[in-house]
Structure 1
């Protein structure tokens, strides 16, 4: 009995700590520094650890407490600046946090913990005794697909809300142009730009690029934090599933390849439909990049210089001048994988013949 009470207390103590940590990390984004933004990128991590390591109830408690803590922190910050509308602004911050970060983190980590006995259809989080039997575990393919849908939906909804609040897409774009162009002019005065650069066009391009970048970065954030959370749970002995073979199992259904190419084509239509298509293309493009990176990890297994090659690849990812190009290459590899099943071909070629 004492053991159960102690375990219960530890579970919910961990959930409370996870919720508060997530709220603090999320609130750091208001500082605007590079370090603060980098730490805010880890805001989903505590919720995911609570869900994967301690179970559904702990994940729900961490999510609810994190949302309330974000509201409290935002309210305190608003009151320091102005008392008018502080509670409404704080409530909006909490709602934005819950819908765009906490709920996706909870849902993806919940799915990652699911499994089912062989030859059954019902998914659940297995107990210690249940894991002793043969089980199927929630496929990484579905996790990645859910993450794509969530990331694209968040960016699309945010774009529609901003457009509607400013009287339509064109009006919102004009307002953003008016606000951003003076900043670019100040920057151009300090850092000379080519004489033929139209700052108004550049401002509009930056505004139009923001929602697709948000979609792609949100997907990367969710998947990276999910990987870290699972590793933490594995090290602590709380991961409710065997560690998956990510290089071989991380993939998108082939059906997404034509959707990705169609979204790129429609993005050139322009206007709000074109921007929404660009958001979908960006989210799928990042997913195919992750698939391409997994393919490279899988296909290079057994190579003598694999460690050096992978180290060079990851070094290229963190070098600002060429950061986009590796992602484009990875996406191309991911599309080739969808078309030709490169990993399965390799596996079949080295399997012993019967």
Structure 2
């Protein structure tokens, strides 16, 4: 690794740490910045190689721990965002020579002139496996952090109730109502947290790829996301297993909800990609996309519809006969 790459990786790690530091220091206004913390790691990995991404991930965790004086803050960033970003960036950069039918030298025409020195055609790591890996890493990260930080409903409920009492609407709620709201919030944490983490990593990867591409540092050609974004059949098996596990008693129920949250968001991305592909060429495409995303932001319920579309797309591709 050259010194210039090492400096860039260290700078990316420091930038990621600064974006995340506000959340560790309990600054409510810094939540949005913290969600952008994986972007510098992705940029380092996509533009300067996998080693640069790993170095940036390590530096980010060390800097957060040094700034905050809290080791768990560095662990939180490294496990939830930095390391998954470095791994996903490595997967996006993987490629091998195309050895499919018609690609071998026995089927190739004799090279003439500059074509003799042309680079071989490459097969890049499929996006469906990258999405699967991100969802899996988000689930594993949330499970690991829950164990490390000691997620316990009985212990956390009094803290949530106290926070509700200090809120502006505390006078309008009885103790039973506050207890019910606290129970509801805690029951949703294992489902929402991995979904948000999967969303954060996927959006950060998209933004980082766009930044790296316009700077001519991204070797991978641009993927057509609406047609290329799918999930492998294994993702459907994991998702269905997670849904079945939610009927088990805790803590198995919590683990199953984490899996459902992470892979449910991944299937939602697939469903949204199908919508983008189906609306191509329509004169009212911009209006349809605007209304859809506005409904998602305001109501949240349409996410479930696109999750079902993503699941249906995976089932349909499983039933499709393999190419001859």
Aligned to 1:36: 30
Q: Does residue 207 of structure 2 align to residue 228 of structure 1? A: yes
2:13 to 14, 19, 28: 19
Structure 1, unaligned runs of 5 or more: 1-6, 76-89, 121-129, 164-168, 349-354
Q: Report what 2:301 is aligned to.
A: 325
TM-score, structure 1 normalization: 0.78
Question: Residue 44 of structure 1 contacts residue 105 of structure 1 at CA under 8 Å; is this kept in 2?
Answer: yes
- Whole-Å separation in 1 of the counterparts to 2:119 and 2:171: 64
Deviations, residues 279-334 of structure 1 (Å, cap 9, x unaligned)? 11111110110110011111111112111111222222332xx1x21211110111
Q: Conserved in 2, the CA contact under 8 Å of 1:29 and 1:37?
A: yes
Aligned to 2:294: 315
Residue in 2 aligned with 1:70? 64
**Partner of residue 148, structure 1:** 135
SS of corresponding position for 1:136 = strand
2:184 to 205, 210, 213: 205
Matched, 1:61 2:61: no
1:137 matched to which residue of 2? Answer: 124
CA 1:189–1:104: 2 relative to 1, 3 Å? closer
Aligned to 1:174: 154
Structure 2 equivalent of residue 78 of structure 1: none
The equivalent of 1:105 in structure 2 is 85
Paired position in structure 2 for 1:123: none
Matched residue of 2:208: which SS?
helix
Alpha-carbon spacing, 1:17–1:299, altered in 2? closer, same or farther (3 Å): same
Q: Alpha-carbon deviation of 1:24? A: 0.4
- Summarize deviations over 1:196-250 as a string: whole Å, max 9, x none: 9633232122112112211111111111111111111110011111011111111
Determine the structure 2 residue equivalent to 1:254: 233
Distance apart, 1:28 and its partner CA: 1.6
Q: What is the Cα deviation at residue 56 of structure 1?
A: 2.7
Match of 1:115 in 2: 95
Q: How many angstroms apart in 2 are the aligned matches of 1:25 and 1:189?
A: 32
1:303 paired residue number: 282
**Pairwise CA distance, 1:191:** 6.5
Query: Alpha-carbon deviation of 1:43?
Result: 0.6
RMSD of equivalent CA atoms: 2.7
Aligned-partner Cα distance in 1 for 2:149–2:54:
30
Structure 2 unmatched runs, 5+: 101-116
Question: Structure 1 pair 250/131, CA: closer, same or farther in 2 (3 Å)?
Answer: farther
C-alpha distance in 2, partners of 1:103/1:255? 23
Counterpart residue number, 2:163: 183
SS at match of 1:198: helix
Q: Which moved more, 1:41-50 or 1:63-72?
A: 63-72
Residues 155 and 212 in structure 1, CA contact (< 8 A), matched pair in contact too: no
Structure 1 pair 35–199 and aligned structure 2 pair: CA distance change class (3 A) = closer
* 2:260 aligned counterpart, secondary structure: helix
